[in-house]
Amino acid sequence: MIGFFDSGIGGLGIWRAVRSRLPHVSTCYVADQAFCPYGTKAVKEIVERARRISQWLIQEGCTMIVVACNTATVNAMDRLRAEFDVPFVGTEPGIKPAQQVSRTGTIAVLATARTIGRYAQASDVQLLTAQGLVEEIEKFDWETSARLQAILEEVKTQLAPRVDTLVLGSTHFALIEDVVQQVFGDEITLINTNDAVASQVERVAKTVALDRGDHQWLTTGASDDVLQKLKIVWQCKEVRIDRGEIPC
């Protein structure tokens, strides 16, 4: 079984990309919604959540783990790899691919405060964050939320003049790529790493024992309302969605 975790629904974009490459492999996705967002938490707390969830996933039988969260990857991956024997695949902002496609050579990265805090500001990379955006995305009203639109509009006003490529450096932001594109317009190219991560998962999957089976989606804290929307939006027919025995 492949384990996945994120602070919430963000990592589902990666989960979906992995499923389309490895449709028969069983998966277990943990959304740590009781502790969402990670991006404003202390590093110590992010590391602790990542450790506890990874340990639980391994106990449940996962032979590899996808950290489907940029914030957990940049802050906790070294610790996870040092502590556990299973292979981990992480998610990092696609800075290199963005630099390759940019015509002006100036790119921006939109990520959580705890992710961009790990990147040194370079003159050709603008680091941006958006307060409250992750929480809005968790509500699932992406097309209609005025607040979500307003946050994105505000980020757009901060873009440096020569930026033509924006890296979606949080799996939550990659999930709403269509909405971001509408706000930023076609002149800005968006980059997310969901498919690159899925491709790495496919490579690593060849090196571990994986069983065929179903998909479990577990949360530490979503409301019933969000669970219902998840079933509709993701057409999660074959996915068992429940709160499970996740360590809180």
Binding residues for ligand DGL, per CB under 6 A?
Answer: 6-7, 10, 36-39, 69-71, 112, 115, 134, 170-172
**In the complex, least distance from residue 36 CB atom to ligand DGL, rounded to whole angstroms:** 5
Q: Which is nearer to ligand DGL, 54 or 170 (CB)?
A: 170
CA distance 127 to 244: 37
Cβ 203 to ligand DGL shortest distance, Å: 21
Q: What is the 3-state secondary structure (H, E, C) of the chain?
A: CEEEEECCCCCHHHHHHHHHHCCCECEEEEECHHHCCCCCCCHHHHHHHHHHHHHHHHHCCCCEEEECCHHHHHHHHHHHHHHCCCCEECCCCCHHHHHHHCCCCCEEEECCHHHHCCCCCECCEEEECCCCHHHHHCCCCCCCCHHHHHHHHHHHHHCCCCCCEEEECCHHHHHCHHHHHHHHCCCCEEECCHHHHHHHHHHHHCCCCCCECCEEEEECCCCHHHHHHHHHHCCCCCEEEECCCCCC
Minimum distance of ligand DGL from residue 75's CB (angstroms): 9
Least distance to ligand DGL, CB of residue 175, Å: 8
Minimum distance, C-beta of residue 24 to ligand DGL, in the bound complex (Å): 27
Shorter beta-carbon distance to ligand DGL: residue 172 or 215: 172
Instruction: Give 39 or 94: the residue with its C-beta nearer to ligand DGL.
Output: 39
The smaller minimum CB distance to ligand DGL, of residues 63 and 70, is found at 70
Residue nearest to ligand DGL (CB): 39
Q: Which is nearer to ligand DGL, 77 or 210 (CB)?
A: 77
- Is the CB of 3 or the CB of 10 nearer to ligand DGL? 10
> Whole-number minimum distance, CB 11 to ligand DGL, in Å?
6
